[in-house]
Amino acid sequence: MPHNKRPFGVYVHWPFCLSKCPYCDFNSHVRAHVDHAQWAAALMQEIQYFSMHIAPRPIDSIFFGGGTPSLMAPQTVEAVLSCLQQQWGFSKNIEITLEANPTSVEADKFAAFAGLGVNRLSLGVQSLRPQALKMLGREHSVEDARRAIELASKHFPRYSFDLIYARPDQSLAAWNDELSEAISMAGDHLSLYQLTIEKGTAFYTQWRQGKLQIPAEEQAADFYNLTQDICSGAQLPAYEISNHAAVGGESRHNLVYWTYGDYVGIGPGAHGRLTLVDGQRVAYHQHRLPEAWMAAISDNGHGTAQREVLSMRHQAEEMLMMGLRLTAGVSLRDFQDCIGRPVSDYIDMEKLGSFKEQGLVVDDPQCLKLTGDGRLVMNNLLGQLLT
């Protein structure tokens, strides 16, 4: 697929948080002081570097992630957006999302962010129960969360919030009640994640020590199926394994990832995937440590730690791994346009037939997609399908 036909997004990473949540393995850091002017200048320098190496094309989506980007000074967000518009320009219906936590300090900035052009807010609520918020190490209260959701609905055309479920000692009935309450406050999108134990986190240490128990696989599947039933009934069906939206409410930026579009990653630890003018597909990631990234910006004008040209096989595998997360699956025509060869060259067709018979893969001649049961075991299926 020609580079200028792919959707194009920009991810901007703000690596700082007030504290480190015990479940979080994202690239987030706690610092006593952050020089916002210095960071704005460094982010703009990296944007300018990439703009010199990528053909001009309007940006379809921008996502400020973290860390906690709502801790950014509005002037920093303004500087970054101005630089992006100057370097690439914006598409007519650009989506600009900013992640935020529901603390009162951050919620008080919502009007300022909206005034700068942010048109979608993603709130890290995580739970509507006080005991769960404490267990998850969150800084906000349930009242903070409700107020932040209300403010988001007033200031932004679109908003979403995250919840974590299948928590220790959580019952299906309790999750039913909590999710139903969340839906009553939801906009056009919800992100609902099962609690997973990631290496390097405080929860991982507790789990290894036997101090933390999470639902077994069968019970986790019950939580997942209940989530699908409730959200579908509320006209917020899953369009991706953990993301639910009304028709037209899907996160356009996340769809850039899942449909294997092009995206630039700016800031510490950010990743990028770009199709160059000559058709080569490159992957890169930035230095994770904020200080190392800042030093690289000073020395090189960019913070890239590693860059590689992806083989066609690597691209094919990535496109399948990302696309099969979607309820819509992977279009076989898009796959061939992008990779240049049919999907049958990369997957075990005998296994595929078997999975269709088992009800794990949908029998559709136009696309490759998983059933609800298939999505529950997606990683296992992929490991067997890829040749």
For 74-127, the pLDDT digits (tens) are 999 999 999 999 999 999 999 999 999 998 778 899 999 999 999 999 999 999
Q: Please name the fold of domain 3-256.
A: TIM Barrel (3.20.20)
Q: Is the pLDDT of residue 3 over 60?
A: no
Question: Averaged over 226-240, what is the pLDDT?
Answer: 98
Name the band, by pLDDT with cuts 50, 70 and 90, for residue 277. Answer: confident
Q: What pLDDT does 195 receive?
A: 96
* Residue in this structure with the two tokens 């959580």, named with its chain if needed: 170
Max Cα-Cα span within the chain: 59
In this structure, the number of other CB atoms found within 10 A of the CB of residue 377 comes to 16
Q: What pLDDT does 4 receive?
A: 59
Mean pLDDT of the chain: 94
The CATH classification number of 313-385 equals: 1.10.10.920
Q: What pLDDT does 105 receive?
A: 75
Residue 368: closest CA among 328, 317, 315: 328
Pull the structure tokens for residue 384.
């067997």
Question: Averaged over 257-280, what is the pLDDT?
Answer: 93
DSSP secondary structure, 216-236, as one string: -HHHHHHHHHHHHHHHHHTT-
Name the band, by pLDDT with cuts 50, 70 and 90, for residue 1. Answer: low
DSSP secondary structure, 28-55, as one string: -B--S---HHHHHHHHHHHHHHHHTTS-
Pairwise CA distance, residues 105 & 101, whole Å: 9
Question: Averaged over 209-214, what is the pLDDT?
Answer: 93
What is the reported pTM? 0.95
Domain limits of the chain? 3-256, 313-385
For 356-384, the pLDDT digits (tens) are 999 999 999 999 999 999 998 998 999 89
The reply to whether 313-385 shares the fold of 3-256 is no
Alpha-carbon distance values, 179 to 230, 241, 386 (Å): 8, 16, 36
Q: H helices within the chain, ranges in order?
A: 36-51, 74-87, 104-107, 110-115, 130-135, 142-155, 172-185, 202-208, 217-233, 252-258, 290-300, 312-323, 332-339, 349-357, 372-376, 378-385
